[in-house]
Amino acid sequence: MLLPFRSYLRLGLTLASAALLISSCELLEFSPNDVRAPDAQRDLTRQNLERLAQQPNPTGGDTLRFAFTADSQRYYDELDPLVSSLNQQRNLALVIVGGDISDFGLGREMRWVNGKLKQLRVPYFTVIGNHDHVGNGRAAYQEIFGPLNYSFTYAGTRFILTDTNGREYGFNGQVPNVPWLQQQLADTVGVRRQVAICHVPPFDGDFDPSLTTSYARALAAAPRLVFNLSGHIDKFGVSQPYNDNVTYISGYSVEQRQYLLLTLWGDKEYKLESIAY
């Protein structure tokens, strides 16, 4: 028995080291909940920010045009038409995906979506949605996309993307991180306009009710905010629910085969178009 047992062990060790060697092979999946991804499919927010930094504003002036879509969760058939429509938009600078990239919070789903969206001519940016938090999704999102809260400035416009999926944290009073949001909104150096982006809007039941007022107040106090964009409810709408002059725009889901085309100019001027594809 000694010899076969040793050869068994040797086989096992060979197998394990072979697995480590070829761990970049996507087929060899350790768990659907693992967060492994090839380098080209990791840190996508950083990669897209680097692309954006190299890209002059296509309008060549003060005007900024970007697109907003959301909830790509398990609608892979709709992504190719979405990408080809977006690639035909003139002067488009970037695309924002308003969360629920995945349905089950699996890394492979996020990489499938990236496989489609990387065909965009322009960089794209995501905010985390509630479905991206399920299972090990939060860790997968951080590995594949990046931080849960982040901001960047382009063409004088500061985009602030906040994790507002309070229910996924059991309404712990910490999400959204309002102090962080206030800090981002207060930093106006070189910023002419501000755009807040989240997945769950503050008027939805999946938003932490203990933070609704403080989120809304933070936006109302922001000096240069144009509007708040959100996904989640799969229903387009423009409203000022808190009567504080803050405009909340709910976007279309990928399933609805429409997206928003937003053109910003001046301080708070904007044009909103719904594009079907």
Partner 1 sequence: MKHLLLFVGLLVTWISSSAQAQSDTPTPRRWYVPQHAVLQTAGGIGLVAGGAGYTLGSKRRWDVDALVGYVPGKYTGGRAFSIFTLKGTYAPFCLPVQTRWQVQPLTLGLLTNYTPSAMLNRSRDDKYPYKNYYWWSSTVRLGVFLGGRVGRELPVSQDGRARMVSAYYELGTNDLYAVSLLPNTKGLSLGQILTLGLGVKVDF
Considering only residues 21 through 50, tell me which ones interact with partner 1, judged by CB under 8 A: 23, 25, 27-36
Sequence-separated (6 or more) residues with CB below 8 Å from residue 237: 249, 250
CA-angle at 50, arms to 44 and 53, nearest 5°: 140
What is the spatial distance between Cα 164 and Cα 213, in angstroms, rounded to a whole number?
13
Choose among 210, 205, 212, 209: nearest CA to 228. 212
| Helix axes of 178-186 and 212-221: crossing angle, nearest 10 degrees | 0
Nearer to partner 1, 70 or 185 (CB): 70
189 touching partner 1, by CB under 8 A: no
4 touching partner 1, by CB under 8 A: yes
Instruction: With contacts defined by CB under 8 A, name the span among 105-113, 118-126, 194-202, 237-245 that binds partner 1.
Output: 105-113
Quote the distance between the C-alpha of residue 6 and its chain's center.
50
Work out which of 56, 60, 170, 190 binds partner 1, going by CB under 8 A. 170
Nearer to partner 1, 58 or 105 (CB): 105
116 touching partner 1, by CB under 8 A: yes
104 touching partner 1, by CB under 8 A: yes
80 touching partner 1, by CB under 8 A: yes
Sequence-separated (6 or more) residues with CB below 8 Å from residue 223: 185, 188, 194
210 touching partner 1, by CB under 8 A: no
Instruction: With contacts defined by CB under 8 A, name the span among 74-82, 93-101, 178-186, 227-235 that binds partner 1.
Output: 74-82
CB of 11 to partner 1, least distance (A): 5
56 touching partner 1, by CB under 8 A: no
Burial class (CB in 10 A: 0-12, 13-18, 19+), 242: middle
CB of 107 to partner 1, least distance (A): 9
Work out which of 52, 91, 171, 180 binds partner 1, going by CB under 8 A. 171
Considering only residues 142 through 161, tell me which ones interact with partner 1, judged by CB under 8 A: 142-143
What is the spatial distance between Cα 20 and Cα 22, in angstroms, rounded to a whole number?
6
232 touching partner 1, by CB under 8 A: no
Q: Residue 215 corresponds to which tokens in the numbers above?
A: 């989120």
Work out which of 78, 86, 212, 262 binds partner 1, going by CB under 8 A. 78
CA-angle at 263, arms to 41 and 86, nearest 5°: 40
Choose among 249, 163, 253: nearest CA to 200. 163
167 touching partner 1, by CB under 8 A: yes
- Which ranges of 210-276 does DSSP label H, i.e. alpha helix? 212-221
Q: Which positions touch partner 1 (CB under 8 A)? A: 1, 4-5, 7-8, 11-12, 15-16, 18-20, 23, 25, 27-36, 74-80, 103-106, 108-109, 112, 116, 131, 133-140, 142-143, 167-168, 170-171, 205
